[in-house]
Amino acid sequence: MTLWVFGYGSLLWNPGFEVAEQSVATLNGWHRSFCMSSIHHRGTEEHPGLVLALDAAEGATCQGLALRVKPGTEDAAMAELRERELVSSAYLETHCDVTLTDGRNVTTVTYVIDPDHRQYIHLSLEQQAHVISTAVGGRGPNTEYLYNTASHLTELGIEDAELDWLSARVKELTA
C-alpha cells in the first residue's frame, strides 16, 4: 500500500519519517491557518502558542507537500505521526485528495483542525504575531516554528502572504 501524507506546516521541514518522494501539491476546500492553540509543542497550558492547522473554507486552496512514505516503513510512520499530531485530539486524521504538480491525484493522510475542540481559536494577524513572539513549548520557541515553515514555503515556491506578514511582524516584535 502506498502511503502519502500532506504537509503544510512543520511536516514541510520535519516530517519525522522516511520520505521516498515529495511533490508540491494542492488541496482544495482548506486553508493553512494559525488557528490551533499549542499547549504542548510550541506553548504551554499557562502560555499557549499557536500552530498551523487546516481550516475548512469554501473555495479555499492550500499548497503544501505531498510526502510519499518510504515503502516498508508505513506502520512506523503512522505511529510517529499519530503520537505527534494527535497529542491533544485537536487535529482530526482524515484522508484528502490532492493534486501533485505533475497532474497526478493522490489520497493523503491529512491532519485538519477539529472546529469543536477547545484549542480551535481565531485571532487577528496582529494578535497571532504577539502570541508567536513570546510562546515556547516542548519543541522550542513558537518563532522557530513560524520562521522554519515560512522559509520552507518560500524555498518550495509556495506563496503565503499571511505567513510572510507574520514573519516580518514577529521579527519586529522580537528585535
The set of catalytic residues is 85
Whether the CB-CB separation of 58 and 8 falls below 8 Å is answered with no
Q: Of 170, 167, 161, 155, which Cα lies nearest the Cα of 12?
A: 155
**Number of C-alpha atoms within 13 angstroms, CB side, residue 162?**
14
Q: Which of 39, 34, 50 is nearest to 138 (CA)?
A: 39
| C-alpha to C-alpha distance for 22 and 6, rounded to whole angstroms | 10
Residue 10 makes CB contacts below 8 A (sequence gap 6+) with 51, 52, 145, 148, 149
Q: What angle do CA 137, 11, 112 make, to 5 degrees?
A: 85
